[in-house]
Amino acid sequence: MMRTRPLKVALLGCGVVGSEVARIMTTHADDLTARIGAPVELAGVAVRRPDRVREGIAPELVTTDATALVKRGDIDVVVEVIGGIEPARSLITTAFEHGASVVSANKALLAQDGAALHAVAEQHGKDLYYEAAVAGAIPLIRPVRESLAGDKINRVMGIVNGTTNFILDKMDSTGAGYQEALDEATALGYAEADPTADVEGFDAAAKAAILAGIAFHTRVRLDDVYREGMTEVTAADFASAKEMGCTIKLLAICERAEDGASVTARVHPAMIPLSHPLASVRGAYNAVFVESDAAGQLMFYGPGAGGSPTASAVLGDLVAVCRNRLSGTTGPGESAYAALTVSPMGDVVTRYHISLDVADKPGVLAQVATVFAEHGVSIDTVRQSGKDGEASLVVVTHRASDAALTGTVEALRKLDTVRGVASIMRVEGE
């Protein structure tokens, strides 16, 4: 039986994503009503600049007092798309305290304080949904949290930032340098005026923390995620990758240790074989590769950012939360029962591609090989080229720990015959 009294929604933020949420709520109102079982009504929109014209939103709905809006008591669901830590954290907490469930797209806040927010939501019997916080429109949080709830996930590896993938794809396909590719991304609107959060991996690290927590039923905070940006990736790195049949992507990798007792979460550039599904992800698209015991290998692919794609994920959560509201139930909350240890980067085991500038004379290769052996790092392949007394030495290792590789590189730098370490890159996906 259809309920005629509408469910009231408060929207915090009306930028690129928020305006799309409001538009879809209006244009798809009849469909949303049929899917939910009751009408949904936009009851208020909190903004910082009230004088800006917002097409399709009645001026009387607009307010600068977000706190008063979430305290109203008649609000059923608060949609938070303002981002950042404060005032978002306080507003979400206040919403729970005054009887509203929350849909959020705030990856930074959830990565830092997700456990505390889940606790407040549970205390007040309310929902906290955040599909839009990771990978835009791609259905990912709910499949990992619900569809794979009966499975054991061992690894989640993906491209979760469209800006960085566009830049690296452009460098790969055209031979452009980093700055040239970044300039094009900025001109096309893929990169912000200050791209630091994207290119230095902060955005991807927040998403990795959220994914790891859900996949491994363990609390993983942003501070637990190793982060390395992509600003040092060069055209020469891509040339080396192509020689190995690889390309380079900025990856978020969350994995369970072989003994099952610990997990790691990291973000960094890596070479991946062209045969791997993630290698073919082009432009500003995102994709996440999940490996589990029973389901095997799964890949989720689609647009990872933008107003409409992100709003799609927000509206999906809104429908789910509203359905829960009508039935008097709540969806899944935090699952952290496993409480696995989050290991440091030094424990991570993978392959490495190391490019060295060395003296072009007899015995150099033997010296370098000895250093690798002394630190327990096995060499897979070596390639040397050079002239006029200088040479380039490229070493690809078998799997080794990050700590062992770090010690190896420190020792290599002390050799008189090693002029410098041109680049170090991990090799993943094999």
Question: What's the token pair of residue 265?
Answer: 């979460």
Q: Determine the Cα–Cα distance for residues 54 and 190; give it in Å rounded to an integer.
A: 23
H and E: helices and strands count for the chain:
14, 18
CB 411 within 8 A of CB 370: no
Task: Decide if 71 is catalytic.
Answer: no
Q: Determine the Cα–Cα distance for residues 95 and 69; give it in Å rounded to an integer.
A: 9
CB 151 within 8 A of CB 295: yes
Contacts of 21 by beta carbon, 8 Å cutoff, 6+ apart: 11, 79, 81, 311, 314, 315, 318
Q: Helix, strand or coil for residue 215?
A: helix
Question: What's the token pair of residue 77?
Answer: 């669901």
Q: Determine the Cα–Cα distance for residues 209 and 227; give it in Å rounded to an integer.
A: 11
Q: Of the listed 126, 207, 387, 414, which one is catalytic?
A: 207
Q: Given the structure tokens 């927010």, which residue do they identify?
A: 117
Q: Helix, strand or coil for residue 138?
A: coil
Q: Would you name the residues annotated as active-site residues?
A: 207
